[in-house]
Structure 1
């Protein structure tokens, strides 16, 4: 097994931060329906990751996976409106930034003892190697939390299987959703006890 480490985003060097953004876009870029330009998206997310709520999985100094954790008062991704305007122009950038923050900044758990896995992604060449499992285990080991929540899209069968194997149980489905209309599948909320 390769040696690995998990670091908070603030501890990464600039190259590793770019790699982390690349991992995020590899996993979620297809859902950014407002732009298919990867360079624009990289610029948009340059200032979006919370320095202490995004974690990176590294092997030999290279980022192979990322984990974003939300609490009842902090989410790990917040679009900087000025950066969005810089990338897309005043009108379109303002709309994109505000709309994305409606999604990325809404409260997802209620109690101080709950956490929500907001982002979990690995590079394609790291899939099937236990990277996502190790990131989940890292989240489960964080002190003071009692329940962990996650949402998976119904068409993402591999992720759903991973979460079930990691102890998550589905408790809510939202068949009528924007993601379903876009062809990505409907959201399934899952939870896991941590105590």
Structure 2
């Protein structure tokens, strides 16, 4: 498995990223369209490849995740793309809602300078359950200069929560959600990982 930043990938990786993103978050995105092909085309433009990391297996994209530092947006949405692929009404609705939720994300706590926000973690349907997301997140945490990492996950996404706990994330906040019956999400859970500092042994003092 090869872990690289999306901007370092050969060729146009955005198409593969969009497929993994839409498949991973289709439960929420299908409100705007049930047609996955339309959704693939709608979101292909938005990824900030400077902050997205990818796991590649046998030259196939297996998983994606972003690590936003200093509040740099992970994605940048363009209204024209939403309108072109989803139509004027649905495109406008999707753009307005997702612009606020994705690009101008507001966390219910302060993001400090030494904190990385892990976002948009998703695994290809062909590689789920094979450790791709685990290795990707490990690599992000090990290679980044941040001392802390935070992420948001739906309380109903128990598989993801178990994965994050294995990686050392612990819940520190949860926010109840309105209209939980429609969304299927009761709370948004916020988890934090604090990187362990390496302590150098000085040995016995003579």
- TM-score normalised to the size of structure 1? 0.89
Give the corresponding residue for 1:122.
123
Superposed displacement of residue 12, structure 1: 3.1
Note the alpha carbon deviations across 1:87-140, whole angstroms, 9 max, x for none. 123343233212211001224452111111111111233222221111111121
Whole-angstrom distance in 1 between the partners of 2:87 and 2:134 = 39
Give the corresponding residue for 2:158.
157
Give SS of 2:46's match. Answer: coil
Whole-angstrom distance in 1 between the partners of 2:158 and 2:192 = 17
Structure 1 residues 161, 172: CA separation in 2 closer, same or farther (over 3 Å shift)? same
Is residue 138 of structure 1 aligned with residue 139 of structure 2? Answer: yes
Give SS of 2:152's match. Answer: strand
1:77 to 75, 78, 95: 75
CA contact 1:44–1:79 (8 Å) conserved in 2? no
CA contact 2:53–2:140 (8 Å) conserved in 1? no
Give SS of 1:139's match. Answer: helix
CA RMSD in angstroms comes to 1.9
Q: Which moved more, 1:105-114 or 1:146-155?
A: 105-114
Structure 1 residues 59, 179: CA separation in 2 closer, same or farther (over 3 Å shift)? farther
CA contact 2:33–2:86 (8 Å) conserved in 1? no
Give the corresponding residue for 1:183.
184
Structure 1 residues 176, 37: CA separation in 2 closer, same or farther (over 3 Å shift)? same
Superposed displacement of residue 180, structure 1: 6.1
Whole-angstrom distance in 1 between the partners of 2:181 and 2:66 = 23
Whole-angstrom distance in 2 between the partners of 1:15 and 1:54 = 14
Structure 1 residues 9, 179: CA separation in 2 closer, same or farther (over 3 Å shift)? farther
Whole-angstrom distance in 1 between the partners of 2:113 and 2:153 = 23
Give SS of 2:143's match. Answer: coil
Whole-angstrom distance in 2 between the partners of 1:110 and 1:17 = 28
Superposed displacement of residue 156, structure 1: 1.0
Q: Which moved more, 1:177-186 or 1:140-149?
A: 177-186
Whole-angstrom distance in 2 between the partners of 1:177 and 1:70 = 27
Give the corresponding residue for 1:12.
9
Unmatched 5+ residue regions in structure 1? Answer: none
Whole-angstrom distance in 2 between the partners of 1:18 and 1:101 = 20
Whole-angstrom distance in 2 between the partners of 1:14 and 1:110 = 33
Whichever of the two has the greater Rg, that structure is 2
- TM-score normalised to the size of structure 2? 0.84
CA contact 2:14–2:45 (8 Å) conserved in 1? no
Give the corresponding residue for 2:47.
49
Whole-angstrom distance in 2 between the partners of 1:141 and 1:25 = 27
